[in-house]
Amino acid sequence: MQFVCTVCGFNLIEYYPESCPFCGAPKKNFITVEECSEKFDVVETHVTDKVSRLNSSPPLGLEHSAYCLELNGRRIWIDCPSTFSDGLKPMDKIIFTHHHFLGASNLYRNYYTAFIWIHKNDSEHPISQRFPFDKKFTEDFNLSGIEGFPINGHTPGFTFYIFEKLLFICDYFALKNQGFTLNPYGPAQPTLSGAKKLRDLIKNRIIETVCGFNYVMDYNTWIIGLNKLLNKI
């Protein structure tokens, strides 16, 4: 059996606890994955000719975006929707920014035989233990033109990605009052250090678009907000 928390979207594999291990919501908020697939769908929204945004529809819990990259006939996802849908085109790999957005990746892995990549440190977190992983990386890497950069902080293995002129940062930064705030769910000083490391790594890159967990934004607007945040801390 597998259940989905309708408060946060976390998938609970083969167990039915009194409360969600991710958000703490009581089990009255859980539905089976079958019910989830009946009530929710996954929609793709165009970002560029090679990149689309994946979201549960209607929004599921603390709805987050995953992203699909089309690479010469191959499809690679960055993060995974909470909803399982067998109507999506097959994906070859799912690579994660961190373990909070594992979603229904185990189901997609089994149905489409997609390989799952995550940083080793995040694979060791207790909420990750029931999820299968095929590759646990520890260093920077390049996968078919997708560059991965572990920066720690928000989670021990948090990794951001760059593909062509797009930056994929998930929820390391959250929108707040027309500005940014660092994700508060993690150690403050390592998260700040990781943010500064990210800024150093991208300063000489040509980036046009930033893809977050609930936004797609022009890079120039985004970097102004990031600099304002880091300069006042």
Q: Which of 79, 85, 58, 83 is nearest to 67 (CA)?
A: 79
The pLDDT score that the predictor gives to residue 30 is: 97
Residue type, 52: S
Whole-structure pTM value: 0.96
**CA-closest candidate to residue 84, choices 127, 34, 123:** 34
Q: Measure the CA–CA gap between 37 and 52, rounded to whole angstroms.
A: 21
Closest CA to 172 of 198, 209, 148: 198
DSSP tag of 89 = P
- Mean per-residue pLDDT for 149-158? 97
Confidence of residue 175 (pLDDT cuts 50, 70, 90): confident
φ, ψ dihedrals at 123, nearest 5°:
-65, -20
pLDDT value at position 25? 97
Look at the block and give the residue holding tokens 């799952």: 116
pLDDT for residue 177: 74
Distances (CA, A) of 8 to 22, 182, 208: 8, 19, 30
- The mean predicted confidence, pLDDT, of the chain is 95
Q: What is the pLDDT of residue 40?
A: 98
Q: With 90 as the cut, is the pLDDT of residue 176 above it?
A: no
Tokens 């769910």 correspond to: 185
CA–chain centroid gap for 124, Å, is: 17
pLDDT band at 61 (very low <50, low <70, confident <90, very high): very high
Sorting pLDDT into bands at 50, 70 and 90, what band is 193? very high
pLDDT at 73 over 90: no
**pLDDT band at residue 201 using 50, 70 and 90 as cut-offs:** very high
Strand partners of residue 207: none
Residue 51: strand pairing partners:
69
Domains in the chain, CATH or no CATH each: 2-232 (3.60.15.10)
pLDDT tens, residue by residue, 101-143: 999 999 999 999 999 999 999 999 999 999 999 999 999 999 9
Residue 45: per-residue pLDDT? 97
